Amino acid sequence: MTQTSIIVTGGAGFIGANFVRQWIAHESATLINLDKLTYAGNPENLRPLKDSPAHVFAHGDIGNRELVRHLLERHGPRAIVHFAAESHVDRSVHGPTEFVQTNIVGTFALLEETRLWWEKHAPSKREEFRFVHVSTDEVFGSLGPNDPPFNESTPFAPNSPYAASKAAADHLVRAYHHTYGLPTLIVNCSNNYGPFQFPEKLIPLMILNAVDGKPLPVYGDGMYVRDWIHVEDHCEAIDAVLIGGKPGEVYNIGAENERPNLDVVHEILRHTGRDPSLIRYVPDRPGHDRRYAMNARKIREELGWKPRHGFERGLADTVTWYLQNQTWCQRVRSSAYRDYYERQYGARLRQQGGDAT
Ligand code: NAD
Ligand code: DAU
């Protein structure tokens, strides 16, 4: 049993893979990566770690309690960083079942097995342990144009099945600290962008469509506002919480980069040298939250974290990454992705009198 190892869940997805790669670049302790490899989990995101003894990949579901128990007993981690989730709002609108199953029931299974294992240890070991739950700003609902950004005391008001399932998970994590004393910490972060993001989310979808000269489907009036943070800054914030965060606390993470979607799309057109005539206004996402913004003062002041990436440069670098990783892009746009794209955008784009492809 290596006392310094950590378990990461969902480490083959976008943020998880960035975290795993960053972690292994600067830590020598073993990292056990539990991932179910859903459509969003991609072993190629971890290709450079294929032969690294520091990375142990465990293919499985966080809801598989026997497997979680085995990993805890076998590796005796000093921490769990829990990324695994169904994460896409549009998919949660069409099929909420998986969201309830993984984000709520799966998080419960992980918490309960962790608690049973953790309770067997001596008080000093119990005190050192950390369970970091990775959550989202969407649990707080939607802001009006002049509302102050969300802080850690903003009441929950989730609006999509995705956001509601994440909010439920946050409540369970909180309760496990309050009731059992499990040293849990919660991070709520704003919209991430950067390398390895699956192209069903706004930024990679727009980059890849623009590069291919395809229509860019903008929901509603395009004036919905998101607060963008580079994924590496988010991963560094999680590191800071793991090292210095106080059990039982919540930390909001954001980089103060509020942008209307349309501005982001125009910026991508500029970087790819494409014409704004590619933009198509398509029927809106049901229940679409108008604005998110994060107040990250607490993590900045208490843990000394701050983001390193400015949005303009970070977005330009992200466009370059997608241009330089064409094989990755082609592979993730499999036939399953094309089916999803047709379901999500086919009728919407045709309604606008255009060609969906
Ligand atoms: P993602 O969809 O890219 O990756 C999710 C990963 O979890 C995939 O590798 C998938 O295979 C795995 N997974 C799904 N169900 C699983 C299960 N039952 N058991 C084990 N593994 C499973 O997601 P992401 O964008 O990297 O987000 C990671 C976490 O961060 C999520 O919890 C999400 O709610 C949160 N978050 C995301 C953002 C964002 O902008 N992407 C912002 C704030 C918070
Ligand atoms: O805020 C944090 C959340 O950000 C995370 O918790 C989620 O896991 C992550 O998916 C993301 O959710 P959003 O719904 O904000 O992200 P998405 O990329 O799907 O959409 C961003 C904005 O762009 C949103 O206002 C909807 C809009 N949009 C999105 C797509 C995919 C479009 O206008 N057209 C599109 O085709």
pLDDT in tens, 157-214: 999 999 999 999 999 999 999 999 999 999 999 999 999 999 999 999 999 999 999 9
Q: What is the pLDDT of residue 332?
A: 93
Which residue numbers are catalytic?
137-138, 162
Please state the pTM of the whole predicted model.
Answer: 0.97
Beta carbon of 18 within 6 Å of any ligand 1 atom:
no
Q: What is the pLDDT of residue 196?
A: 98
Q: Residues near 123 by Cβ (< 8 Å), separated by ≥ 6?
A: none
Beta carbon of 194 within 6 Å of any ligand 2 atom:
no
For the chain, the residue count is 357
Residue 200 inside a domain? The answer is no
The ligand that comes nearest to the alpha carbon of residue 227 is 2
The ligand that comes nearest to the alpha carbon of residue 280 is 2
Closest CA to 217 of 268, 283, 316: 283
Residue 74 inside a domain? The answer is yes
Distances (CA, A) of 292 to 21, 282, 333: 28, 21, 29
Q: How far is the CA of 260 from the centre of ligand 2 (A)?
A: 12
Strands 250-253 and 184-189: parallel
Q: Which atom of ligand 1 is nearest to the CA of 41?
A: 9
Q: How far is the CA of 7 from the centre of ligand 1 (A)?
A: 15
- When pLDDT is averaged across residues 325-338 and rounded to a whole number, the result is 92
Cα dihedral 322, 229, 283, 279 sign: negative
* Domain count within the chain: 1
Which tens digit of pLDDT belongs to each residue from 59-81?
A: 999 999 999 999 999 999 999 99
To test the ligand 1 pocket, which listed residue (83, 103, 241, 328) has its Cβ within 8 A of the most ligand atoms?
83
Beta carbons within 10 angstroms of residue 56's beta carbon: 17
Q: How far is CA 249 from the centre of its chain?
A: 20
Cα dihedral 347, 337, 196, 190 sign: positive
Q: How far is the CA of 351 from the centre of ligand 1 (A)?
A: 32
Domain that holds residue 106: 5-194+229-253
Which tens digit of pLDDT belongs to each residue from 41-64?
A: 999 999 999 889 999 999 999 999
Q: How far is CA 93 from the centre of its chain?
A: 18
Residue 103 inside a domain? The answer is yes
Closest CA to 77 of 36, 30, 122: 30
Task: Give the confidence band of 353 by pLDDT, cuts at 50, 70, 90.
Answer: low
Residue 121 inside a domain? The answer is yes
Local structure of residue 338 (DSSP, 8 states): H
Closest CA to 102 of 9, 190, 14: 9
Task: Give the confidence band of 1 by pLDDT, cuts at 50, 70, 90.
Answer: very low
Which tens digit of pLDDT belongs to each residue from 230-275?
A: 999 999 999 999 999 999 999 999 999 999 999 999 999 999 999 9
Q: How far is the CA of 253 from the centre of ligand 2 (A)?
A: 17
Distances (CA, A) of 199 to 171, 331, 357: 30, 11, 15
Distances (CA, A) of 213 to 74, 221, 277: 50, 21, 10
Residue 109 inside a domain? The answer is yes
Residue 243 inside a domain? The answer is yes
Residue 185 inside a domain? The answer is yes
Beta carbon of 37 within 6 Å of any ligand 1 atom:
yes
Which tens digit of pLDDT belongs to each residue from 82-111?
A: 999 999 999 999 999 999 999 999 999 999
Q: Which atom of ligand 1 is nearest to the CA of 17?
A: 26
Cα radius of gyration (the chain): 20
Q: What is the pLDDT of residue 354?
A: 61
Residue 290 inside a domain? The answer is no
Q: Tell the residue number behind the tokens 């076998």, with chain if given.
A: 74
Q: What is the pLDDT of residue 2?
A: 44
What is the rounded distance in angstroms from the CA atom of residue 105 to the CA atom of residue 140? 21
Which tens digit of pLDDT belongs to each residue from 108-137?
A: 999 999 999 999 999 999 999 999 999 999
Closest CA to 75 of 30, 28, 108: 30
CATH number at residue 94: 3.40.50.720
What is the rounded distance in angstroms from the CA atom of residue 101 to the CA atom of residue 264? 33
